[in-house]
Amino acid sequence: MDHEIHKLIYQAIDQTITPDNLERLQDAIEGSREVRLEYLRAVHLGETLEEIATSEMHSAVSSPEQVTSSLPADLLSPSRVNHGSRGFGLKTWASAKTTQPGDTFPPGSDTGNAEPNRLATGVLGFSWGPLVIAASIVAIISCVALWSGRTNTSDQAPRVSRWESSHGRAEESLIAGHATLRRSVDVQWSDNATSFHEGDVLPNGMLQFDGGLMEIDVFCGASLIVEGPASLRFESDWEVSLVKGRLRANVPPVARGFIVKAADSEIIDLGTEFALEVGADHARVEVLDGEVELRGGPHDGDHLVTGQGEWLTGSGTEAFALHGISSGEDLRRRLQQAQSQRFAEWQRFSEELSGDRRLMAYYPSAGSKSERIIRNAASASTARNGHLVGPVEHVSGRFGAQSTGLEFDRPGSRVRTRIDGKFQAFTFFAWVKIDSLDHIYNSLFLADGYENGEPHWQIRDDGRLMFSVMVDDKQDVRVANRFDKEIVRDAGRHHVYFTDPIWDATQSGQWLQLAAVYDPQRRRVEQYVNGQQVSSEEIVDDFYIADLRIGPAEIGNWGQPFRDSPWFAVRNLNGTIDELGIFNAALDASEILHLYDQGKPLGY
């Protein structure tokens, strides 16, 4: 939408618009459904913010996140006003002032097809007073957001950027890097060095580690086996400098011309494989198969072929040690042994954890052998077992091929369970590998009906964790379902506890331990990633509920089996879960960290 139209909308709300511009805005509203939608969205947002600011339950506004996290999830969605074709028009705006803090903006309603009114005081059926307050709040929040953004930009550059078209619309995500860390074993990262996990994109700059072995795929197609201690610098998709350590480069035809720099020389691979060692007082290269060209240094212009080597600096008379440099097969064998050991350690811990009497359900799918059932390891009863429904696939878990995870990358995939009873607190934890966040809401664990005391645990498409518990399902909202053209029930009063974004595309395919704690006794909701707390928020009176339940529920999706239509929300997780546990207790930070330490895979 034209930026000027946005500007006019907010000038109209705060009554600073000139008569000429008011006329222009009126024409735009009459002539464009998009403008009508945007105008109503701005008015509704202002009204909601006013209600939040003046409510006793929110005594102070300290950050923009505190405000936005109090809004209904649908209100935060850019698509929330882009629904349906009937019902909620300009003329009915005044009645919207009766909505409650937990209400949602009707997703199936139509704010755009109603006949537009002329934009003048009284014509729309409301006074400007509340909107002036709302606009002031919007201005304050904007200032806070601007200040927050400025103060945060100095910490680190974003890992994912977006390229924008000439029209200002986000078109494509960008990630900076030249290679991928494919496999590693026993890596010990140097002090103050950036650490990476398998699958990470390696950016421009230095990679340092004190021990271990890793395999790196450079984007040009070359593959490197690097032994620690090592320091190497990535300069482009075709160039890397080895400052210290031992390196074995395999260069297929597609990557011919790949350059490794060392000791003031460039080693240009003409295919297929060479080894390089750089120490404090020497540097030597040897061709294992094929041919390389040397540029710079004392051997500028020399060519070396299979079996030949050269000292780039220093000299030696002893048998060349590079003959014993690790190969890809060596790395694979060491990795397999290490994964087996780590898996066995986790299995012992998992068996011990199963005896924790606070566990109400525990699904260690990493050890699951059944095709369609995941046993609840917290009980001998089968009542709370998980049942695989739809295209759920058994795939490799976080300990490699010998362990098992469950992949939910298709809309119908889900694991159904039923956990009856009343509970005093919730602690959810799960090991999750996210491939992408394709949907607005991406499910981890959701109770079916979302009734009083029932939890929903999800990830938004912007990477924020979401945890909520229904407080009063009687305060529901009736909305027009745009598929069935009828009024259906929507969520009641609840509060969504958001984290800051904890995931972006650079973490695709990585394992994360996620945890959420709902503690009515302490009136706190806390969330964790890899054992570290990422959010802590008070449970205020309006959203407090002590009697917790789950009942029928799903892992990795949301079935809504009691809905009144065949349509269901697409919330399947595009990723894999290989362990999920639920405690009838509020675990503290040290216990969450212990779960992470005992369950983390290699390289964490």
DSSP-derived secondary structure letter, 195: P
Contacts of residue 576, Cβ cutoff 8 Å, sequence gap at least 6: 395, 397, 405, 406, 407, 408, 432, 433, 435
pLDDT, tens digit (0-9, with 9 covering 90-100), for 166-213: 555 556 777 888 999 999 999 999 998 999 988 889 999 999 999 999
Mean pLDDT of 567-592: 93
- pLDDT confidence of residue 133: 47
pLDDT for residue 106: 32
- With a cut of 90, say whether residue 7 has pLDDT above it: no
Q: What is the pLDDT of residue 95?
A: 31
Cβ burial 10-26 (10 Å sphere, 16+ → b, else e): ebbbbeebeeeebeebb
> What's the pLDDT score for residue 544?
95
CA distance 578 to 407: 9
What domains does the chain contain, in order, with CATH numbers?
A: 1-44 (no CATH), 179-313 (2.60.120.1440), 346-599 (2.60.120.200)
| DSSP assignment of 219-279 | TTS-EEEEEEEEEEEE-SSSEEEEEEEEEEEE--GGGTT-EEEETTEEEEEEEEEEEEEE-
Cα separation, 469 vs 139, in Å, equals 31
Name the residue among 332, 341, 333, 331 with its Cα closest to residue 403. 341
- Structure letter (DSSP) for residue 128: S
* pLDDT (0 to 100) of residue 100: 33
Stretch 503-530: mean pLDDT, rounded?
Answer: 95
Residue pair 373/387 in contact (Cβ under 8 Å)? The answer is: yes
Phi/psi for 550 (5° steps) reads -130, -60
Largest alpha-carbon pair distance within the chain? 96
How many angstroms separate the CA atoms of 34 and 112, rounded?
Answer: 7
* Chain segment 117-129, per-residue pLDDT in tens: 344 333 333 444 4
- Span of 80-89, 291-300, 350-359 with lowest mean pLDDT: 80-89
Cα 473 → chain centroid:
29
Give the per-residue pLDDT at 40: 72
This model's pTM is above 0.75:
no
> What average pLDDT does the segment 465-482 reach?
79
Window from 13-27, 50-64, 169-183, 285-299 with minimum mean pLDDT: 50-64
Band of pLDDT at residue 444, cut at 50, 70 and 90: very high
Higher pLDDT, 569 or 563: 569
Q: What DSSP designation does 121 have?
A: T
601 Cα distance to chain centroid: 19
Task: Give yes or no for a cis peptide into 382 (omega within 30° of 0).
Answer: no
What does R_g of the chain's alpha carbons equal in angstroms? Answer: 29
350 pLDDT more than 80:
yes
Does the pLDDT of residue 476 top 90, yes or no?
Answer: no
Is pLDDT at 572 greater than 90 in this prediction?
yes
Contact 373, 385 (CB under 8 A): yes
- Written as six digits, the tokens of 167 are 């029209």
Q: Helix 3-13 vs helix 33-54: angle between axes, to the nearest 10 degrees?
A: 40
pLDDT-derived band at 12 (thresholds 50, 70, 90) equals confident
What's the token pair of residue 45?
Answer: 């947002």
CB 161 within 8 A of CB 173: yes
pLDDT in tens, 424-438: 999 999 999 999 998
The predicted pLDDT at position 164 comes to 54
pLDDT for 54 equals 47
Q: Is the peptide bond before 229 cis (omega within 30 degrees of 0)?
A: yes
Mean pLDDT of 95-108: 32
Q: Are the C-beta atoms of 37 and 112 separated by less than 8 Å?
A: yes
Say which amino acid occupies 408.
F
> What pLDDT is recorded for position 523?
97
Structure tokens at 436: 């992408």
Tell whether the model's pLDDT for residue 69 goes beyond 70.
Answer: no
Structure tokens at 560: 């809504």
Q: Environment class of residue 202 by beta-carbon count within 10 Å: exposed (0-12), middle (13-18) or buried (19+)?
A: buried
For residue 181, the surrounding DSSP H or E stretch is strand 179-189
Residue 58 pLDDT grade (very low, low, confident, very high; cuts 50, 70, 90): very low
Terminal-residue alpha carbon distance, the chain: 45
State both tokens at 457: 């645990």
Q: Give yes or no for residue 244 having a pLDDT over 80.
A: yes
pLDDT digits (tens, 9 = 90+) for 354-405: 999 999 999 997 766 677 899 999 988 889 999 999 999 899 999 988 899 9
| pLDDT value for 569 | 77
Q: Left, alpha or beta for 560 (phi > 0: left; psi -120 to 50: alpha)? A: left
* pLDDT grade for 89, boundaries at 50, 70 and 90: very low
- pLDDT at position 490 is 63
From the list 268, 227, 269, 217, the residue with the least C-alpha distance to 247 is 227
Does position 18 have pLDDT exceeding 50, yes or no?
yes
Q: DSSP string spanning 370-430? A: -SSEE--TT-S-STT-EEEESS-EEEEETTEEEEEEEE--STT-EEEEEE-S-BS-EEEEE
> What is the rounded distance in angstroms from the CA atom of residue 301 to the CA atom of residue 299?
6
- Residues of the chain above pLDDT 70, percent: 73
pLDDT in tens, 580-595: 999 999 999 999 999 9
The 3-class SS string of 505-516 reads: HHHCCCEEEEEE
Q: Over the chain, what is the mean pLDDT?
A: 79
Predicted confidence band at 303 (pLDDT cuts at 50, 70, 90)?
very high
Residue 21 has a pLDDT of 81
Model pLDDT for residues 23-43, shown as the tens digit of each residue: 788 777 777 767 777 777 776
User: By mean pLDDT, which of 150-159, 390-399, 505-514, 591-600 is the weakest?
Assistant: 150-159
Q: Dihedrals φ, ψ of 288, to 5°?
A: -85, -30
